[in-house]
Amino acid sequence: MKRHRGHKARLCLAPSQASAAEDQGHAARALWNLVHDWWTMLPKERRSLAAADAVIRQGRKDLPWLGVLPAQAAQAVLKTYFQAWRNCWEGRAQAPTFKGRFRSRMAVDIPQGRDLQIVRLNKRWGRMWAPKIGHMLFRWTRDLPVGSRADKGNRVSGARLVKEADGWYVVFRVQTEVPEPAAHTGPSVGIDRGIAKPLALSDGTFREHDPWLTEGETKRLRRLEKARERRRRARKPGERDSRRLTRTYNQIAQLRATAKRRAVDWQHKTTTGLAEMFSRIGVEDLQIVSMVKSARGTVGAPGRNVCQKAGLNRAITAEAWGRTVTMLEYKAAERGGIVVKVLARNTSRRCSACGCVTPGSRETQARFVCKNPGCGFEANADTNAGRNIDHAAGQAVSGRGDLGGTRSVKRQPPFRPHAA
């Protein structure tokens, strides 16, 4: 079967190349906004992909500053915009909107893989070519199907230049042919996601990590955030940001990007190990967006414990539970496994040995002691929840039959106790 994956690598750009890439990124954003205005102002009967293409071609002739964007990248902007509307019409996303200068990420598409001219220079560095920028160096961290290794089924089909807070990156679109995965023969597991224990497995083990930022980096981030607030208060209403405030914004963004990069690295390594070890992985079907809503309330009905809830929301967001499940789903499917989503109700309050939900069983945040007189089961609270999730996942699979190892399940039949 054909597998399409993205591979992200860091670019090393000369100052002139970085300036050219930023010019193209600004032009691509402005072109998106122009197409959006043109599309929304026209009557529905006059909207078409061909008409938009003609307008873009004419605009590149009339507006010289749009000429810095390569023609193929301009066509990619149009295709991306049209796909955004298609996703909206089919109910997969919201309608596309205006892209603000400071609220959007700069990106430039290179649709044709043959234009990249990828060459590996040594163990750590590779070289690629981008239109109107030239040859660029990038970090070689994964073998790419280029040169003699490339064919119709294994190739780099395109790329996108993306600017993050800590510099420019290239995201390659890699197509490979892999054999159909055999059914995974490993054991099953249930995973409870939390804050104190990021991932608690039903077998009694945990997957933990250190703080994403070191102690020194955390202190520096707090110091920069205080400086940001002081400089924002000193700014007059309607006045532009000073260079010092802009530099503070950039420094904060770089530290947060460092934390995110470390978090994604840990998640990739952890989910790969779990997908290789277990055949069926059960997780809770959490509504994370609802869980991280603010408790501020309204003027008439103000919320309670707003600061505590805000801290919990930040902790949940930092763990990125949804991204962990997304990684598990495609990695398990590649190895013949399956990820099963079950209802989260009472998974932390039910005893995994007897199946009873008794008041006061959750003695502390980390300790579960069943209050059923005939049971008395004791375990870590997160481990007990993982056992409940594992059993519910098994019930869901058996209730629906063979799932083929590639789909998620969101059904939870009646409970049956987990084997102690």
Dihedral sign of CA atoms 68, 73, 79, 80 in order: negative
200 and 121 within one domain: no
The token pair that represents 127 in the structure block: 């070289």
Whether 418 is covered by a domain: the verdict is: no
Mean pLDDT of the chain: 88
Note the Cα 415 to chain centre separation in Å. Answer: 33
d(CA 96, CA 88): 8
For residue range 356-413, list pLDDT tens digits in order. 888 888 877 788 888 888 888 888 889 999 999 999 998 877 655 444 443 444 433 3
Task: Answer whether residue 416 is part of any domain.
Answer: no
Domain boundary residue among 179, 210, 236?
179
DSSP 181: P
**With 60 as the cut, is the pLDDT of residue 414 above it?**
no
Dist. CA 89–CA 40, nearest whole Å = 15
Same domain, 174 and 200: no
195 with 90, same domain?
no
Q: Say yes or no: 40 and 132 in one domain.
A: yes
Mean pLDDT of 310-316: 89
pLDDT computed for residue 416 by the predictor: 44
Domain finish residue from 179, 207, 239: 179
- Residue 420 within any structural domain of the chain: no
Based on the domain organization, do 71 and 91 belong to the same domain?
yes
CA distance 331 to 327: 6
Under a CB-based contact definition with an 8 Å cutoff, are residues 192 and 200 in contact?
Answer: yes
pTM of the model: 0.84
The parent domain of residue 67 ranges over: 1-179
Band (pLDDT 50/70/90 cuts) for residue 264 is very high
Residue 408 within any structural domain of the chain: no
Q: Find tokens 């481990």 and name the residue.
A: 383
In a domain, 405, yes or no: no
The pLDDT score that the predictor gives to residue 302 is: 82
Residue 374 sits in the same domain as residue 305: yes
Domain membership flag for residue 406: no
Mean pLDDT on 59-66: 87
Q: What angle in degrees, to the nearest 10, is found between the helix axes of 49-62 and 71-89? A: 140
**Do the Cβ atoms of 263 and 211 come closer than 8 Å?**
no
Residue 150 shares a structural domain with residue 256: no
Q: How far apart are CA 278 and CA 205, in angstroms?
A: 13
CA dihedral (358, 364, 369, 373) in degrees, to 10, reads -50
Instruction: Give the rounded percent of residues in the chain with a pLDDT score beyond 70.
Output: 95
Report phi then psi at 206, rounded to 5. -135, 155
56 with 169, same domain?
A: yes
**110 vs 19, 30, 76, CA distance in Å?**
17, 18, 8
Q: 113 and 206, same structural domain?
A: no
Whether the per-residue pLDDT at 99 is higher than 50: the answer is yes
Q: Which residue's structure tokens are 């249930």?
A: 190
Strand partners, 201: 191
The dihedral built from the CA positions of residue 404, 410, 416 and 418, taken in this order, carries a sign that is positive
User: Rounded to whole angstroms, how far apart are CA atoms 94 and 366?
Assistant: 40
For 281, phi and psi rounded to 5 degrees?
A: -120, 120
Count of structural domains within the chain: 2
Co-location of 225 and 136 in the same domain:
no
Q: What is the CA angle 306-307-309, rounded to 5?
A: 65
- Min mean pLDDT across 65-74, 196-205, 291-300 is at 291-300
Q: 219 and 327, same structural domain? A: yes
Distance CA 274, CA 253 (A): 31
Residues 34, 150 within the same domain: yes
Tell me which of 153, 179, 205 is where a domain ends: 179
Give the pLDDT confidence score for residue 398 in this predicted structure.
Answer: 65
Q: Is 240 inside any structural domain?
A: yes
Q: Which residue has the higher pLDDT, 12 or 306?
A: 12
Residue 417 in any domain: the answer is: no
pLDDT at 300: 78
* Mean pLDDT to the nearest integer, 45-60: 87
